């Protein structure tokens, strides 16, 4: 789960959080009918037009591939120190210093719709490649791709008014070829009634609002793509198959690749424009 960026200042974020907390879901949906949302198809041909970097991400951590698309990078920390969590039964390892990752966000929000991202994940245990819809009120729908041993692809969602961990996540059957060796298209189709996760157009999970018992993401959300180091907390490092062994890598960058991101806003609940 990634932390939302602050794009319009603390006052605006505080205002959106207050509204999301106190406005009833039906009123949220009526308000969202005025949500300005841009349909787009980003190929990343030497441009990040329509996207903004997450706070803390810099130009050092991405580049454009010669054949098109975007290369996301985790760069090594200046210092390496492996620690062990004595409070855990397994004495879990983690890194005191994390590598610097890269995350970028669509500048347009959507109130329901669908998007897809064609990407090739990182191939290093401890690195997490993430494809996300995230709202300022904490609502989130995502894919997270892990490597190391058997690859793991997880689908998850969170309801921002009461975030719980370890409940809504599902491990899905991975594609035939490793996600770090081949490009796959990861899609999320989000409506007021259900969420559908797809890989290469094939439905791999559906979750309905009824199944969520009201704890269902409804906040206007933006698309977010990222590559981050999961090594800094023992439990997260274990989940991410890490921590990253930077000494073994000799400080070599960790990379994931994005070729195409398509965003399609629902015309029923958005004021749709095209970039």
Q: Which residues are catalytic?
A: 140, 144
For residue 258, how many C-alpha atoms fall within 13 Å in the half-sphere facing its CB?
Answer: 31
Spatial separation of the C-alpha atoms in residues 238 and 139, rounded to whole Å: 25
Instruction: State both tokens at 114.
Output: 């669908």
Phi-psi region of 133 (alpha: psi -120 to 50; beta: other; left: phi over 0): beta
Of 174, 168, 179, the residue nearest 142 (C-alpha): 168
The DSSP string of 182-235 is S-EEEEEEE-SSEEEEEETTEEEEEEETTTTTT----S-EEEEEEEEE--SSHH
CA distances from 152 to 38, 92, 146, 272 (A): 32, 20, 5, 35
CB 141 within 8 A of CB 100: no
CB 194 within 8 A of CB 112: no
Q: State the virtual CA torsion across 176, 179, 181, 185 in degrees, nearest 10.
A: 90
DSSP H or E stretch at residue 74: strand 70-74
């Amino acid at each position: 789960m990634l932390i939302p960026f602050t794009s319009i200042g603390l006052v605006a974020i505080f205002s959106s959080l207050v509204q999301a907390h106190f406005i009833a879901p039906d009123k949220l949906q009526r308000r969202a009918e005025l949500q300005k949302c841009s349909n787009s198809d980003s190929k990343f041909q030497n441009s990040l037009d329509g996207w903004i970097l997450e706070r803390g991400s810099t130009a050092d951590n991405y580049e454009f591939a010669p054949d098109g698309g975007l290369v996301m990078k985790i760069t090594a920390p200046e210092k390496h120190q492996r620690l062990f969590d004595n409070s855990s039964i397994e004495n879990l390892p983690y890194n005191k210093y994390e590598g610097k990752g890269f995350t970028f966000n669509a500048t347009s929000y959507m109130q329901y719709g669908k998007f897809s991202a064609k990407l090739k994940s990182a191939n290093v245990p401890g690195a997490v490649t993430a494809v996300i819809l995230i709202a300022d009120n904490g609502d989130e729908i995502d894919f997270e791709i892990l490597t190391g041993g058997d690859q793991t692809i997880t689908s998850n969602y969170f309801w921002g008014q009461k975030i719980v961990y370890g409940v809504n996540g599902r491990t899905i059957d991975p594609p035939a070829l490793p996600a770090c060796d081949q490009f796959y298209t990861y899609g999320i189709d989000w409506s007021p009634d259900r969420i559908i996760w797809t890989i290469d157009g094939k439905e791999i999970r559906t979750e309905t609002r009824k199944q969520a018992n009201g704890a269902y993401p409804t906040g206007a959300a933006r698309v977010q793509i990222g590559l981050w180091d999961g090594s800094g907390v023992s439990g997260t490092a274990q989940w991410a198959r890490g921590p990253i062994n930077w000494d073994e890598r000799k400080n070599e960058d960790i990379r994931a690749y994005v070729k195409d991101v398509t965003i399609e806003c629902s015309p029923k609940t958005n004021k749709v424009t095209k970039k």
